[in-house]
Structure 1
Amino acid sequence: MSLTSTPATTSAAPPTVSTIELGDVRIDRVMEYSDTTPMTTDVFFPGSTPEEWRRHTELLAPHHWEPASDLTRAATQTWVLRSEGKVILVDTGAGNGKYRPLQPIWSYLNTDYLANLAAVGVRPEDVDIVVNTHLHDDHVGWNTRLEGRDWVPTFPNATYLMPRPDVEYWKPENLPNTVFGRGNQNVYEDSVDPVFEAGLVTVWEDSYTIDGNLRLAAAPGHTPGASIIHLESAGDRAVFAGDLLHGAIQVHEPHINSCFEEDEDGARASRARMFAHAADHNALVLPAHLPGHGAFELRRRGAGFELTAWAPFSTT
């Protein structure tokens, strides 16, 4: 698939669709949250410089950065895939009603996420597979919902795919003594353990074939078990990048990490491998947290990369 209708050098061209098809796979974008974050550029991306942000203003404003306030913008969203007769969710956002003591932006949310899923024709019981690209709080939240006083699986007929390194790393008894580690402290209790107890989890390591179109691959750095999904179908390619990048600035400045990386060097290395694959195979990149059009194509430029086209997903 070649995206030419929305050039990367402008933000004026309107989005055209909220669903695209790559080969035999249909992709719907289901939004949970999209807004300004409470983090300025130096907080969210501590290795970045003001000059780097100014250099890419045309790319970043207004969907990814507000120059006047220096606040960043982000989204939490689920990519809904229909492939070989199955409904597959890629990441499940932050969830409703969950206490996040060190992540107040995700505490006690009350969003229309399930209604947004219904709007693309998906009921919780329709979901066959849930992919958690990693086990941070904003990727597993809708794994469960509150029923009375209990957290129960939101998608009762689904197989939940979780990467083994994260399953071990984020167990409460192993919780890393980092700011984000401590901030992830309630995740197992309300969003991971209940689906294990229901017998719905398949734990994988290194790689995992979902079906003839989709394959999971390890991409450690952001977390030990961080992963991506490769799509290849009828000549079209894509990569669902999870948190290999948190902001559009990282396309043109891939050395920049967010403040949430567990392994700084590992995150850069996984990002570089993913970008090289996407550029060399004309693969659409679909990260977890980009607002605006949300997905893009890129190409090599010298020793780096540049964004060449946005996908035509709705910016709503």
Structure 2
Amino acid sequence: MSEQSMQSITLGDVEVIRVVEWQGAFLPARALVPDSPAELWRENEDWLAPGHWEPESDRAVAALQTWVLRSGGRTVLVDTAVGNGRERPDSPAFHHWQGDFLGRLALAGVRPQDVDVVVNTHIHSDHVGWNTTDEAGQWVPTFPNAQYLLPAADDFHYGPKNAYGNGAREDDRLIYQDSIEPVHRTGQAVLWDGAHRIDAHLTLESAPGHTPGSSVLRLESGGDRAVFVGDLLHSPVQILAPSCNSCFCLDPAQAASSRRRVLERAADLRELVIPAHFGGAGAVEVRRAGEGFALERWAAY
């Protein structure tokens, strides 16, 4: 495991702070992105290694991280990592996870009571875990003053009205119970669908496929643009081969369509692409290359 210190950039009037909870070798490369050819990784080893791929072990490098946005006088968190002490029997890497996420937020100058908005790009365990903390044996919202923005389609899919995704994994039921239901109980959950404007600089948009409610967050301020794409991308090889999905995508065809649409706009508008799990620099500009895309330059923190 490797760790990184706080990193930040300013886009227009918005400060973007990267808070890395963990970074290291994750799944075998083609277990994470099953349709990606082995030669695609080998031909791009010079820049994939070491931040995105370990050639020796053939394992993809991933990060668990949160993006802190200071926008319009408010503090916004984009995704909340894994969370401590969770029952995740289907996900051994996250089962009973223990990390110092709140300590790392503090290093970035963020106390739980300072957070105004929490964005969950989708409802997966490594995006909603720190929504809540264990207080005397009960899960309560970690950020007592925050509004939690949840994609309505995911809330329905994983919530009890849809029988936890029509018989999906046991983890899905547990995730909803310990990380989503508590913010509903306190009235802090806000469900949205289609699009949702947070402020003058930030807008959420649906990008389904990875999950039914998978979404992206667009930032536009001054002449700067960025798009936080959640799990539309797990590895940079998916920029080179956008038809290749991760092993976690529930609707592969829809996920590939959303990925291509978001990358096309990012290339045309010169948006900085900020995925949830990229290691290395963590954010990149893309350009069109024939029928696909290529990497232009990595973010300069």
Conservation of the 8 A alpha-carbon contact between 1:65 and 1:72:
yes
What residue in structure 1 maps to residue 272 of structure 2?
Answer: 284
What residue in structure 1 maps to residue 158 of structure 2?
Answer: 170
What residue in structure 1 maps to residue 76 of structure 2?
Answer: 88
What residue in structure 2 maps to residue 23 of structure 1?
Answer: 12
Q: What CA deviation, in whole Å up to 9, does each residue of 1:22-44 have, x standing for no partner?
A: 0000000011111111x212211
Conservation of the 8 A alpha-carbon contact between 1:168 and 1:174:
no
Task: Give SS of 2:262's match.
Answer: helix
Runs of 5+ consecutive residues of structure 2 not aligned to the other structure: none
Match of 2:33 among 31, 39, 45: 45
1:69 CA drift (Å):
0.9
How does 1:120-199 map onto structure 2 within 5 Å? 120-172=108-160, 173-176=162-165, 181-199=169-187
1:178 CA drift (Å):
7.3
Structure of higher RCO (CA pairs closer than 8 Å, 6+ residues apart): 1
CA distance in 1: counterparts of 2:184 and 2:7, whole angstroms: 33
Single out whichever of 72-81 and 40-49 deviates more from structure 2: 40-49
How does 1:1-316 map onto structure 2 within 5 Å? 18-37=7-26, 39-172=27-160, 173-176=162-165, 181-313=169-301
Single out whichever of 208-217 and 61-70 deviates more from structure 2: 61-70
CA distance in 2: counterparts of 1:178 and 1:295, whole angstroms: 35
Conservation of the 8 A alpha-carbon contact between 2:21 and 2:64:
yes
Identity of aligned residues (%): 49
What TM-score, normalized to structure 2? 0.95
Task: Give SS of 1:187's match.
Answer: helix
Conservation of the 8 A alpha-carbon contact between 2:6 and 2:107:
no
Conservation of the 8 A alpha-carbon contact between 1:16 and 1:312:
no
CA distance in 1: counterparts of 2:279 and 2:175, whole angstroms: 24
1:109 CA drift (Å):
1.4
1:104 CA drift (Å):
1.0
Conservation of the 8 A alpha-carbon contact between 2:6 and 2:19:
no
Task: Give SS of 2:34's match.
Answer: coil
1:174 CA drift (Å):
2.4
Task: Give SS of 1:104's match.
Answer: coil
Conservation of the 8 A alpha-carbon contact between 1:284 and 1:295:
yes
1:16 CA drift (Å):
11
1:184 CA drift (Å):
2.1
1:253 CA drift (Å):
1.3
Task: Give SS of 2:190's match.
Answer: strand
One-letter amino acid of the structure 1 residue matched with residue 259 of structure 2: R
CA distance in 2: counterparts of 1:218 and 1:271, whole angstroms: 11
1:182 CA drift (Å):
3.9
Conservation of the 8 A alpha-carbon contact between 1:176 and 1:182:
no
What TM-score, normalized to structure 1? 0.91
1:148 CA drift (Å):
1.2
Alpha-carbon spacing, 1:17–1:312, altered in 2? closer, same or farther (3 Å)? farther
1:156 CA drift (Å):
0.3
Q: What CA deviation, in whole Å up to 9, does each residue of 1:180-224 have, x standing for no partner?
A: x44323101110001100110110000000000010000000000
Task: Give SS of 1:59's match.
Answer: helix
Conservation of the 8 A alpha-carbon contact between 1:91 and 1:130:
yes
Alpha-carbon spacing, 1:146–1:304, altered in 2? closer, same or farther (3 Å)? same
CA distance in 2: counterparts of 1:185 and 1:56, whole angstroms: 39
One-letter amino acid of the structure 2 residue matched with residue 210 of structure 1: I
CA distance in 2: counterparts of 1:115 and 1:17, whole angstroms: 12
CA distance in 1: counterparts of 2:171 and 2:136, whole angstroms: 25
CA distance in 1: counterparts of 2:69 and 2:253, whole angstroms: 31
Aligned CA RMSD, in angstroms, stands at 1.5
1:235 CA drift (Å):
1.1
Alpha-carbon spacing, 1:56–1:109, altered in 2? closer, same or farther (3 Å)? same
Q: What CA deviation, in whole Å up to 9, does each residue of 1:288-315 have, x standing for no partner?
A: 00011100001111111101111124xx
Conservation of the 8 A alpha-carbon contact between 2:6 and 2:17:
no
